[in-house]
Amino acid sequence: MFDVIIIGAGIVGCFIAKDLSRYDLKVLVLEKGNDVAIGATMANSAIIHSGHDPLDGTLKAKLNLEGNKMYESICKELNCSFNRIGAYVLATSDEEVEQLNLLFKRAQSRDIPCVLHNKDEIKKHEPHVSDEVVLGLWLPSTGIIYPWEVAIACMEQAILHGVELKLNQEVIDIKKEDIYQVITSNNQYQTKCIVNCAGVYADEIYKMIDPSINFSITARKGEYFVLDHLQQPLVHHVIYPVPSSKGKGVLIVPTTHGNTLLGPTSFEIDDKSAINNTHAGLNYVKDQVGKLIDHIPFDKVIRTFAGNRPTGTTHDFIIEEAKLFSDFYNVAAIESPGLASAPAISKMVVSMYVNKHNPEEKKEYVINANHDPKLNELTIEEKNEFVKKNPQYGRMICRCEKITEGEIVDAIHRLCGATTIKGVKKRVRPGMGRCQGGFCEPLVLDILARELHKTEEEILLDDLGSNLLVERTKHDDEES
């Protein structure tokens, strides 16, 4: 019997797992995928927004502001990337200037650092800004993170402090007796409390016990281009257009690893699992980004991707204990700024639980962050020290991102370790570069097979069924 079952291991479920692990509780995380951070947390703009955009009085506004203030120290503690690079919201017409002034006042009323810059001032900081731009709102508290690094780091702390993570466990039914029975595709668990963090499927999870559910969630797709590392950065800060009723618009975003994201679109779709790119979506991105920034090098695009926002009918986050079902907490409709708000969402949910149940806090609780070496950030002398101790740190696997065999082996054997090629890519980046895995993917596959004691045919690219190799075409006796 568990005290708490968390359904969904996106950034929200991972933060809640970490924060609950401070207490003497038996906590289980059930995730339908074969890794953590596979939903919206996998595919987004990675921005820790300042909190200027959400409407007054919403949970989005409150938790975004709070989350933005929490991230820097959390990332330091977890040894994760966090860069407070600042952002511009750029207006290109009189109408947009009017809206920008309203945004400016809203930001001021929330004590968010903000300044209006004219075109000349903006050009000093962002030389590629289009001549169409007339005014910019400078928001220096905006940051960027590497989202799945944070989610994985949270889950590792949770596991370290006793939380159980079970992957490949799709929750298919929930029954309420004295306690909750949670039925997954291949098992059954009992718990006193459920925290529903199932992203775009959170409405379907709640519907399992309450068919009279008063909210629903649709998926709003966002498509992106990724640019390779450029010799001269295209932009130094996050670039937003003036927001519209559809959201924050199409952005230009530097990433923590020196790439640039162009996107996202914002279109509601019927199939919540569809994360394909479309011709129309990508063309829309091209049109929109060209209005703000000149000379975008589309010949440097190395990848496209898409993610789906869980958009709720209430247009705000839904964070509440269900009225009819005691100890069933919905943490639903966590669309943007869900990433920026995640630590504050977790704090809110955990406070609700702790205030009601008053669990014992663990006497000894130490954050023990992952400090595996990142060779490409070290001096040659430091690298040599690592290679002397372990020659695997001297074998380059990913030439684009400069990732060694030793780092991949570390990623596989971490607490919440990688079991697939995508899992390795998420943790230490082979395949994230210009060749997109063309050179390193077969080598990563071999390393996974060796370290996990599996055959090469069993190694997955990503989710179940994505085996890259089907069968041997030559056997040892034929080869000789």
Ligand X SMILES: Cc1cc2nc3c(=O)[nH]c(=O)nc-3n(C[C@H](O)[C@H](O)[C@H](O)COP(=O)(O)OP(=O)(O)OC[C@H]3O[C@@H](n4cnc5c(N)ncnc54)[C@H](O)[C@@H]3O)c2cc1C
Residue 51 interacting with ligand X (CB under 6 A): no
Contacts of residue 123, Cβ cutoff 8 Å, sequence gap at least 6: 129
CA angle centred on 120, ends 118 and 122, rounded to 5°: 70
Sheet architecture: strand order including 47-48: 47-48, 143-145, 82-83
Q: Which of 49, 52, 117, 237 is catalytic?
A: 49
Nearest alpha-carbon partner for 310 in 380, 233, 375, 222: 222
Residue 339 interacting with ligand X (CB under 6 A): yes
Of these, 21, 45, 255, 277, which contacts ligand X (CB under 6 A)?
Answer: 45
Least gap, CB of 208 to ligand X (angstroms): 9
Considering only residues 384 to 443 of the shown chain, the ones binding ligand X according to CB under 6 A are none
* 49: annotated active-site residue: yes
Residue 203 interacting with ligand X (CB under 6 A): no
Q: How far is CA 367 from the centre of its chain?
A: 21
Residue 40 or 235 with smaller CB distance to ligand X:
40
Structure tokens at 342: 């995640």
- In this structure, what is the dihedral angle of CA atoms 293, 299, 304, 309, given to the nearest 10 degrees? 0
Contacts of residue 321, Cβ cutoff 8 Å, sequence gap at least 6: 327, 328, 329, 352, 356
Residue 114 or 340 with smaller CB distance to ligand X:
340
Of these, 241, 264, 312, 343, which contacts ligand X (CB under 6 A)?
Answer: 264
Residue 44 interacting with ligand X (CB under 6 A): yes
- 340: helix, strand or coil: helix
Residue 223 or 407 with smaller CB distance to ligand X:
223
Of these, 51, 136, 307, 417, which contacts ligand X (CB under 6 A)?
Answer: 307
Phi, psi (deg, nearest 5) at residue 136: -135, 145
Of these, 4, 107, 340, 444, which contacts ligand X (CB under 6 A)?
Answer: 340
Stretch that binds ligand X, among 52-60, 90-98, 191-199, 359-367 (CB under 6 A): 191-199
Question: Whose CB is nearest to ligand X?
Answer: 338
Residue 75 interacting with ligand X (CB under 6 A): no
**CB 192 within 8 Å of CB 353:** no
- 247: helix, strand or coil: strand
Catalytic residue set? 49
- Interaction site with ligand X (CB under 6 A): 7-13, 30-33, 38-41, 43-47, 49, 170-171, 197-199, 201, 205, 222, 264, 307-309, 334-340
